[in-house]
Chain A
């Protein structure tokens, strides 16, 4: 395993802080919507640019580090933009740009209240997400993780009706409980390992931890990060949180928040426990069991949802566990497939949520049973929807196929045919819950659809671009930002010295 080179750079810090700086500007210009949205777009572009500037270094295997201050004796609030971090930050900040444009179309088309609070919370969320991506140690991770929890809360309750409020309570109950459990896990780790720094291959190498305490610690971690990662039975806040406006569901509940949870799972498995310890103590089997059950159960639950967003939410729960499954396989292909799925699922699922939002703004329809004939009214939107759902079902040449292919290969490498069966079965179930929607949209006659057309260009253009990106990534996985090779590199840095 090569030793990671590091260099000092303040850019990771700027990348985090830029959207925090935008918050007061957004609030001050609350009375002038155009100026307010300009700040969001500006912050999004600057953020993306900053993250992008870290990419060349991370591809060469150099990580930018920046230490803000010592936050507890021996533990720094430190940032480290390693390959995995940059990978995640790129996805989150890149998709934020599209989501911003889409949001503008959505909130104006829908005439939402409290738009200023909406955009301000969104900006804080993105800061926290990039912070999570660049956290150099577990305590920094927790700091941003909790900020993300709180910043998402106003977005979940945005509609301020009974449903939203109870969703908000549920959301807080799950995530705050997870937060305190994570703190306990961090405390235990610090006591046993003496450090909280993320290290490829784990930090427990020279420390003997008994089977029992390792298992307990792992379960604590799993509960801590598993809530945001939607691992069953900790997933039920996610369908409830669909009460939020659709752009929130799209970016946060398909990308930023839930992927932070998955990101946490990867950090815990690959950078705290390390594959050897996971394997020796059979911890990966625990993870596999949870992930496998989640994939199948979530897909089955998705089948019976009539509300489009809820169906998408259950689909998200299932797909998050793909990533967890890939990580739990502890094989190079599985690991890289899992990590790559973070990117592919993001583009595909955001497309689908954008479509759901466009339909809602335009036709005020939320249920699948009402979508007959909608494909003729909104051809672009529904074409994008088709691409997204094909990708999630794993049909080539959409990018979902690639990650699924590598996950399958990983299952074979790890000699786990059960995992392979789960993947195949879930692919079928995906098709089972997505294709009826497409069928309704294109092949059934709709009623009362005269006079409706596509949503505003602010929404349709991002939808088409996202669908196009999904396709492009499927054909050329390394076209932008070396996403695929990054996934492979991260996998090899973690799996480097590991032999079964």
Chain B
């Protein structure tokens, strides 16, 4: 049991991050904090992919005989990294759009507190 927990320690951290992110998105009243929660959530998933690509005793995926002796098994999986580059770009774009929206909300209502916003909208 302890081995199981210790053996998957990276996943526990990822789950923790996911929960922190969800908590931020759901419980925080300030919209910027919600956005921070969202970013943490996305980062957790990115880490999940990266940690999934890790192999013990493997090295960076650069094709060179001096590093791996031509054995594919000696490389870590490069695909998740490539995917996560895209995911990071997507995340950045999302945050950009979110900030644009927040600026508009602030201009119109002079607050970013969710409860106050809902009251002012009535």
* A–B proximity contact (CB within 8 A): no
Interface residues of chain A, those whose CB is within 8 Å of chain B, are none
